[in-house]
């Protein structure tokens, strides 16, 4: 038994994730990462600020940018235009976001990468990255 699907579902060691991305672990970084880990819907920047009153607004925004640049977290576009921040697994992936409950999911779908390769000739330049979000009604919400 060595299948991908038998990966443990336990939460990753958050401190280790920060360090593995080459960042020093500071109080605000740890607080924000732990906060993001507490719900699978991700958070808007405002929700992070109100959830962490001890961290200043400027520090929240600076830390979010830093964690984004280091691939510790993802910024997910939503239908209402307010991005949500969620923990990242680090490897390249795409997102689903539920339009009803805001739950953020990750998926890979390597077919998307092949599809984008075939689009390359249509694009006036070289594709160097992409973000893909599917706006869904998740399986929990669809049955309500
Ligand atoms: Zn992500
Ligand atoms: Zn949902
Ligand atoms: Zn992709």
144 residues of the chain, pLDDT tens digit each: 444 444 444 455 888 888 888 889 999 999 999 999 988 888 999 999 999 999 999 999 999 999 999 989 999 998 888 999 999 877 899 999 999 998 999 988 888 899 888 988 898 988 888 989 999 999 999 987
Which ligand neighbours the alpha carbon of 143 most closely?
Answer: 2
pTM of the model: 0.79
Model pLDDT, residue 12: 59
Sorted by where each begins, the domain ranges of the chain are 12-142
Could you give the C-alpha distances from 102 to 39, 82, 97, 106, in angstroms and in order? 10, 11, 6, 13
Ligand 1 center–CA 94 separation, angstroms? 6
Ligand 1 center–CA 98 separation, angstroms? 14
Residue 92 φ then ψ, to 5°: -60, 135
Ligand 1 center–CA 120 separation, angstroms? 24
Ligand 3 center–CA 112 separation, angstroms? 6
Ligand 3 center–CA 59 separation, angstroms? 30
Model pLDDT, residue 57: 94
Model pLDDT, residue 120: 85
Taking each helix axis from N to C end, the angle separating 27-36 and 57-69, rounded to the nearest 10 degrees, works out to 70
**Fold of domain 12-142:** Arc Repressor Mutant, subunit A (1.10.10)
Which ligand neighbours the alpha carbon of 98 most closely?
Answer: 2
In this structure, which residues have their CB less than 5 angstroms from ion ligand 3? 112
Ligand 1 center–CA 29 separation, angstroms? 18
CA distance linking residue 33 with residue 15, whole number of Å: 8
């Amino acid at each position: 038994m060595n299948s991908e699907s038998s990966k443990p579902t336990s939460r990753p060691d958050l401190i280790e994730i920060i360090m593995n991305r080459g960042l020093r672990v500071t109080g605000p970084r740890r607080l924000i990462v732990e906060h993001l880990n507490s719900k699978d819907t991700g958070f808007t920047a405002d929700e992070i600020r109100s959830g962490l009153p001890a961290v200043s607004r400027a520090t929240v925004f600076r830390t979010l940018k830093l964690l984004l640049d280091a691939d510790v977290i993802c910024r997910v576009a939503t239908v209402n235009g307010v991005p949500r921040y969620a923990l990242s697994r680090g490897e390249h992936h795409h997102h689903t976001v539920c339009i009803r409950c805001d739950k953020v999911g990750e998926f890979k779908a390597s077919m998307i990468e092949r599809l984008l390769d075939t689009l390359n000739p249509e694009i006036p330049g070289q594709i160097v990255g992409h973000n893909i979000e599917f706006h869904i009604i998740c399986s929990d919400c669809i049955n309500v």
